[in-house]
A and B are shown apart, each in its own frame.
Chain A
Amino acid sequence: MTTSTMYALAAAAVLILTAGGGVGLAVLFRLTNQLVVGDGRLPRVVLERVVVPTEPMALLRWRREQDEERMAVARRVAAYRSGATVLVVLAALTVFEYVMNLVGISVFGLFVIALVKAAIIVHYFMHVATVFAAGDGH
């Protein structure tokens, strides 16, 4: 095999791997994003055809059902999103804590960061406010 053929093959391999890796990463990010901030389900292709009723009353009922379903999904996505936001903030604070320790932050500084993280967990994850609420869900 000549040197130029080897170069060509190597270039082709790099191109294929880069493109393939890029597409693979894009798919991975898309699925992860869907799992983390989406509605918690993997996306799937919907093949069934939507049949819209023609009779006025049935159409009205169908539209109402569609609206309710959309609202339920929106509520679920919003609820999942708030949990994901808290996770990102807590992760960022943990990394900040670690990096600040490398820089040479004082014990007091580390304690303050821990207190902020604790306050976020107690408020958003442990729902401390519900202890004093009327008794319904959070």
Chain B
Amino acid sequence: MHGEYRVALRNNRLGLWLFFLSESFLFMGILVSRFYLWGNTRPELNQLNGLLVTTVLLLSSFTMNRAETALVQNDRKTFLNCLLLTVALGTLFLAGVVVFEWGGHIRPSDGAYGAVLFGMTGMHALHVVSGIVFILIVWNNGRRGLYSSEQHWGVEACAIWWHYVDLVWVFFYPALYLMGQAVH
């Protein structure tokens, strides 16, 4: 690996993690507002849907990891296929949230419950959409052979971004679906 690329890679990684740190403040703020406004209660949400979308997002994290690993191992076909699979799973997650949760009995205008539910899922969904766009760009670049097993910062950044989206949901899922008493 070239010295210049190595230095750039270190700086890029540090920059990305600093960006995650700043993003964490945003998500932590939303999470704190959930506990402040909902306290030890939560709205009645579809538990099965919550578990399903969580599983789908977890699976997408796995396929993203496999895509990155495949590129490192010079397995280009698996790399491209897994990227597309991640996009499909991400879209499925979005559909699960938008169709089943947003189309449920709670509306954004339903006081604190509606505001927090739509605020949390909406902000997270926005990040999922950006991740899907990012993956599609990386897939297109990968198809054109712009990444190698040694130099693939774009793929690494995209994978870490997607895992970050999953990481946020790790905290949002119990906060939305599991913690507190369900109120009708």
Contacts and interface: CB of A to CB of B under 8 A. Distances in A.
A111 interface: yes
Contacts of A76: 73, 75
Nearest to B54: A94
B168 to A, nearest CB: 9
Contact of B69 (A83, A111, A117, A126): A83
Interface string B121-139: 0000000000000000000
Contact of B66 (A40, A122, A130, A134): A40
Contacts of A98: 47, 51, 178
B99 interface: no
B55 A110 contact: no
Given A121-B163, A122-B167, A83 B73 contact: no
Interface in B86-121: none
A130 B16 CA distance: 12
Interface string A96-113: 011001000001001101
Q: Which of under 10, 10 to 19, 20 to 34, or 35 or more describes the interface residues of A?
A: 35 or more
Given A111-B174, A125-B65, A134 B6 contact: yes
A94 to B, nearest CB: 6
Q: Which of A86, A94, A125, A136 has the most CB of B within 10 A?
A: A125
A82 B108 CA distance: 42
B30 interface: no
A111 B150 CA distance: 38
Contacts of B14: 131
A101 B178 contact: yes
For the residues of A in contact with B, the DSSP-based class is: helix
A72 B1 CA distance: 20
A130 B13 contact: yes
B160 to A, nearest CB: 5
Given A101-B178, A111-B174, A118-B171, A131 B13 contact: yes
Given A80-B69, A126-B167, A87 B58 contact: yes
Given A94-B51, A94-B58, A114-B170, 7 more contacts: A83-B65, A87-B61, A98-B51, A110-B178, A125-B166, A135-B7, A135-B9
22 contacts: A40-B78, A76-B73, A80-B69, A90-B58, A90-B61, A94-B54, A98-B47, A107-B40, A107-B179, A110-B174, A110-B179, A114-B171, A114-B173, A118-B167, A118-B171, A121-B166, A125-B61, A125-B64, A126-B160, A126-B167, A131-B14, A137-B1
